[in-house]
Amino acid sequence: MLNLILFGPPGSGKGTQAEKLIEKYGLQHLSTGDILRNEIKEQTALGMEAKKFMDQGLLVPDEVVIGMISSKIDATVNSVKGYIFDGFPRTIPQAEALDKLMELKQIPVGNVLSLLVGEEELVKRLLGRGATSGRTDDQDENIIRNRVVEYRNKTAPVADYYRAQGKLSEIVGEGSIDDIFNKLCAAVG
């Protein structure tokens, strides 16, 4: 079973590259951002709680996100070729919880593909997406910069967690979408 984690700061191309990797490898997409936005759209209690954090550019609490991923894996594990985790894990407790979940289900966590993109490029891309997508967290530069700060403080250490396990591949995420995709495929092997 091929399981990939797409890792990187907000706007680094995780969602963009996930679509292409899914098409090539036939994996099940698990994007915590998409799941949360869907909960908000459906106006569930979980969605309304998550919105308070997302609107400020803050991470949603670990227990909410871990519970969501756990139930999605339970619902799909017998019918998929593998997973692509997009935007999860974003904290060390989330990474530890994922390791435990996967161990329980005897599914290996494979490559962690980390996209490296400079802050000014991230801000430019997200403001660009915000102009057309209707995503409120992409429309205000201060919220975008808060997301980058959250990334630096809470998410960047997750790269070291996987580096220590020998699973991290770092890929420059600036340049053409196809060139970056080819580098990701080479890292998958």
Residue 143 sits in the site that holds ligand B4P (CB under 6 A)? no
Footprint on residues 62-81 left by ligand B4P (CB under 6 A):
65
Kindly list the strands in the beta sheet with 168-172, ordered across the sheet, starting from the edge strand earlier in the chain: 28-31, 83-86, 4-7, 112-116, 168-172
Tell me which residue has tokens 């909410």.
64
Exposure on the CB side of residue 158, measured as CA atoms within 13 A: 28
What secondary structure does DSSP assign to 159-176, as a single string? Answer: HHHHHHTT-EEEEE--S-
Residue 147 sits in the site that holds ligand B4P (CB under 6 A)? yes
Tell me which residue has tokens 């969605």.
47
Q: Which of 87, 95, 113, 184 binds ligand B4P (CB under 6 A)?
A: 87
CA distances from 20 to 17, 57, 61 (A): 5, 26, 29
Minimum Å distance from CB 89 to ligand B4P? 6
Among the residue ranges 7-15, 38-46, 97-105, 156-164, the one whose residues contact ligand B4P (CB under 6 A): 7-15
Among the residue ranges 40-48, 97-105, 123-131, 161-169, the one whose residues contact ligand B4P (CB under 6 A): 123-131
Residue 129 sits in the site that holds ligand B4P (CB under 6 A)? yes
Nearest-Å Rg of the Cα atoms of the chain is 16
Q: Write phi, then psi, for 30 (nearest 5 degrees).
A: -125, 95
Q: Tokens representing 98?
A: 């994922």
Return the number of the residue (3 or 16) whose C-beta is nearest ligand B4P: 16
Q: Tokens representing 112?
A: 């962690």
Return the number of the residue (75 or 79) whose C-beta is nearest ligand B4P: 75
Return the number of the residue (78 or 180) whose C-beta is nearest ligand B4P: 180
Residue 29 sits in the site that holds ligand B4P (CB under 6 A)? no
Return the number of the residue (101 or 106) whose C-beta is nearest ligand B4P: 101
Which residues are at the interface with ligand B4P (CB under 6 A)? 10-16, 32-33, 36, 53-54, 59-60, 65, 87-88, 90, 94, 125-126, 128-129, 137, 147, 177, 180
